[in-house]
């Protein structure tokens, strides 16, 4: 047997025995919150489509209209001939939405973070990164050739002592605004104050804040009224906006530097002009959906009240649409997820390496498209499933 085959088979066997094997479920969407899986209709608490926009009739129409008017493909990279008028218009609107002087639309959030880390820091500089930051930040930082200092999760004092002792060329602090697996929110005000005190650029990844947080869903920074030319804001468009894509909004000097030098941007075909057209509609829908944001908040409160029945497991007290129920053991987490699935409820089991060892969890995500009945069903079914799982153990 070839060396690579032996090695890959051994790895796969080890993942399987550790309960870490991943499976993709094939889904056929039925509505924003229900999908058909293996011929069965199930209610999903599993997507980041927080406002249910992925199937919004106006957005579907906007994408079709964009395709008719502008075509489906951009034809080239932005710097060659693929920067369409509708991309330009979208970037103006994104800058306005984010309250920043300029914006750059990108393929997706992963690419945006790699572009940011590799273009805003390099050899001789230091990137200070929260230990629970998204994988795309970690990968971008590794690629950047800057020194990387990982600070303890949301630890402002820990970060300050690292900044104080740093002799870096320049400094860049980067954080998720809302952490994707815990749902907790970074201390953005305190982090910004540190960045200003220690002359650092401050990159904020708001993948899970945009759309659900702040006035008109404009995100985590505007929720706190934070403004500074040292802030670089990254928002994604595949979550609340219901589409795909991302953008960076910042000072003009930053955006211009990215256009000149960000390799993932320069060397990629521009995203579909139809998608850019639809994104304009998505921004409008986000801004006007106060009712959707209020529903998410009400569902979240309901879950937190119900969670006393889910002991010994602990619902992380999150103010966001992300409500993780910490189980701990990998296999137990999968068993509870399977039992829920048998009842027609889909809550994904999140395991290492996505989360630290011993903190496997059910990642419940709420959507404005859920109904009161969906939330009731989730709460009661979870109580039953957990009661019978813990009775089995006893």
Q: Which residues are catalytic?
A: 180, 208, 239
The residue of the chain with the least Cβ separation from ligand PLP equals 109
In the region spanning residues 294 to 313, those forming contacts with ligand PLP, defined by CB under 6 A, are none
Instruction: Rank residues 236 and 323 by Cβ distance to ligand PLP and give the closer one.
Output: 236
Closest distance between ligand PLP and the C-beta of residue 153, in Å?
14
Measure the CA–CA gap between 182 and 143, rounded to whole angstroms: 26
- Asked if 236 touches ligand PLP (CB under 6 A), the answer is yes
Radius of gyration of the chain (CA): 22
> Is residue 238 a contact residue for ligand PLP (CB under 6 A)?
yes
Is 206:220 a contact under the CB 8 Å cutoff?
yes
Complex with ligand PLP: residue 66 or 109, whichever CB lies closer? 109
Nearer to ligand PLP, 66 or 245 (CB): 245
The DSSP annotation for 157-169 comes to HHHHHHHHT---S
Shortest reach from residue 236's CB to ligand PLP, in Å? 4
207 contributes a contact to ligand PLP by CB under 6 A: yes
Q: Which stretch binds ligand PLP (CB under 6 A): 25-33, 200-208, 223-231, 283-291?
A: 200-208
Strand 314-315 with 126-130, pairing: unpaired
- Note the Cα 203 to chain centre separation in Å: 15
Shortest gap between Cβ of 172 and ligand PLP (angstroms)? Answer: 16
Please state whether 179 falls in left (phi above 0), alpha (psi between -120 and 50) or beta: beta
208 binding ligand PLP? (CB under 6 A) = yes
Q: Which of 205, 233, 350, 366 binds ligand PLP (CB under 6 A)?
A: 205
Under the binding rule (CB under 6 A), the answer on residue 268 touching ligand PLP is no
Using CB under 6 A as the binding criterion, the count of chain residues that bind ligand PLP stands at 14
Q: Give me 143's structure tokens.
A: 């690629």
**Identified binder of ligand PLP from the candidate list 109, 211, 214, 292, rule CB under 6 A:** 109
Strand pairing report for 102-106 and 246-250: antiparallel
| Beta strands 360-365; 322-328: pairing state | antiparallel
**Smaller CB separation from ligand PLP, 78 or 134:** 134
Tell me 37's DSSP state.
Answer: E
Q: In what order do the strands lie in the sheet with 40-44?
A: 28-29, 34-37, 40-44, 345-346
Q: Which of 34, 77, 108, 166 binds ligand PLP (CB under 6 A)?
A: 108
Q: How many CA atoms lie within 13 A of 283 on its CB side?
A: 22
CA distance 316 to 163: 30
- Minimum CB separation from ligand PLP for residue 328, in Å? 23
* x-marked contacts with ligand PLP along 176-195 as a string, rule CB under 6 A: x---x---------------
Among residues 97, 110, 202, 299, the one that binds ligand PLP under rule CB under 6 A: 110
Query: CA-to-CA distance for 197 and 193, rounded, in angstroms?
Result: 6
CB 102 within 8 A of CB 109: no
Residue ranges that bind ligand PLP, judged by CB under 6 A: 108-110, 113, 134, 136, 176, 180, 205, 207-208, 236, 238, 246
């Amino acid at each position: 047997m070839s060396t690579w085959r032996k090695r890959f088979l051994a790895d796969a066997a080890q993942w399987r025995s550790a309960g870490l094997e991943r499976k993709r479920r094939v889904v056929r969407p039925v509505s924003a919150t229900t999908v058909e899986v293996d011929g069965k209709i199930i209610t999903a608490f599993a997507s980041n489509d927080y406002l249910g926009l992925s199937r919004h009739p106006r957005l579907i129409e906007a994408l079709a209209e964009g395709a008719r008017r502008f075509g489906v493909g951009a034809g080239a990279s932005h710097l060659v001939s693929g920067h369409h008028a509708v991309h330009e218009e979208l970037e103006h609107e994104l800058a306005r939405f984010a309250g920043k002087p300029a914006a750059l639309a990108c393929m997706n959030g992963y690419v945006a973070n790699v572009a940011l880390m590799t273009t805003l820091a390099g050899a001789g500089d230091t990137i200070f990164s929260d230990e629970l930051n998204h994988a795309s930040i970690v990968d971008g930082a590794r690629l950047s050739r800057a020194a990387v200092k990982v600070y303890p999760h949301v630890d402002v004092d820990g970060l300050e002592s690292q900044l104080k002792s740093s002799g870096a060329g320049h400094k860049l602090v980067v954080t998720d605004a809302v952490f994707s697996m815990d749902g907790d929110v970074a201390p953005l005000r305190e982090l910004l104050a540190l960045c200003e005190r220690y002359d650092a650029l401050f990159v904020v990844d708001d993948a899970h804040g945009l759309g659900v947080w702040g006035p008109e869903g404009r995100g985590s920074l505007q929720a706190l009224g934070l403004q500074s030319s040292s802030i670089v804001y990254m928002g994604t468009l595949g979550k609340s906006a219901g589409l795909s894509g991302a953008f960076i909004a910042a000072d003009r000097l930053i955006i211009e530097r990215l256009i000149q030098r960000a390799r993932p941007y320069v060397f990629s075909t521009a995203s579909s002009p139809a998608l850019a057209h639809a994104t304009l509609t998505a921004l409008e829908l986000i801004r006007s959906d106060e009712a959707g944001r209020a529903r998410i908040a009400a569902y979240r409160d309901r879950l937190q009240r119900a969670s006393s029945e889910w002991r010994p497991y602990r619902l992380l007290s999150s103010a966001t649409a992300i409500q993780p129920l910490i189980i701990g053991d990998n296999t137990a987490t999968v068993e509870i997820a399977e039992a829920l699935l048998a009842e027609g409820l889909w809550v994904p089991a999140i395991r290492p390496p996505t989360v630290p060892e011993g903190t496997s969890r059910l990642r419940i995500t709420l959507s404005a498209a859920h109904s009161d009945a969906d939330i009731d069903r989730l709460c009661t079914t979870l109580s039953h499933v957990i009661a019978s799982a813990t009775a089995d153990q006893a």
